[in-house]
Amino acid sequence: CSGSSRAEAGDTHVHRELESAVAAFLDKPAAIIIGMGFATNSTLIPAMVDPSGRGKGVLIVSDSLNHSSIVEGVRGSGARVQPFAHNDMSHLDSVLRRATQFGQADGTPWRKIIIMVEGIYSMEGQFCRLREIVALKKKYRAYLYLDEAHSIGAVGPRGRGVTDYLGVPTSEVDVMMGTFTK
């Protein structure tokens, strides 16, 4: 079943070995291998945000220049989305402060707040400001989704992406996405 998804063709020990190797390489507890980067973001973000598919009580704070695959995944999640100006830490801080102070429209606190950024914005040639994003994530007790599609294998002293390049432990990032295609 060449080219078929694992859901159709089945799971093998090779899949599990590759996932273990990727997890070890990135110093993460686990990894999932998906056949396409766009599909990773567009299909896994909704499942990660809320397995029920409704996204109720979840706020996604998304960089305004995130890739269309992230935008697609966020739309499919059903969560409320609040963009922040590209790489603008003051604006991100302001969005997170308001979200934690005031909660949802009815005043109910957000069940989950997730910051979504890319490690490298390929069209702009810019790195995200990961150290500052991690500090804000901690300050506001949010989660962080980092799309490393353009950086794993390309930057950092060990080729492990923006986290490696900037010296940010991968344990500070809740979810990392990367590809083998860049």
What is the rounded CA–CA span in Å between residue 74 and residue 147? 13
Cα angle 126-86-164, degrees, rounded to a multiple of 5: 40
Write down the catalytic residue from 122, 138, 139, 171. Answer: 122
Position 43, amino acid: T
Write down the catalytic residue from 86, 91, 112, 182: 182
Which tokens in the block code for residue 159?
A: 């080729």
Active-site residue among 69, 77, 150, 151?
Answer: 150
Residue 67 is among the residues annotated as catalytic for this protein = no
Cα torsion 90, 172, 100, 111 to 10°: value is 140
Does 150 participate in catalysis according to the annotation? yes
Half-sphere exposure of 119 (CA within 13 A, CB side): 27
The answer to whether residue 182 is catalytic is yes
What b/e string do you get for 133-151 counting C-beta neighbours within 10 Å, with b at 16 or more?
Answer: bbebbeebebbbbbbbbbb
Amino acid at the residue 128: C
Q: Hey, which residues are catalytic here?
A: 122, 150, 182
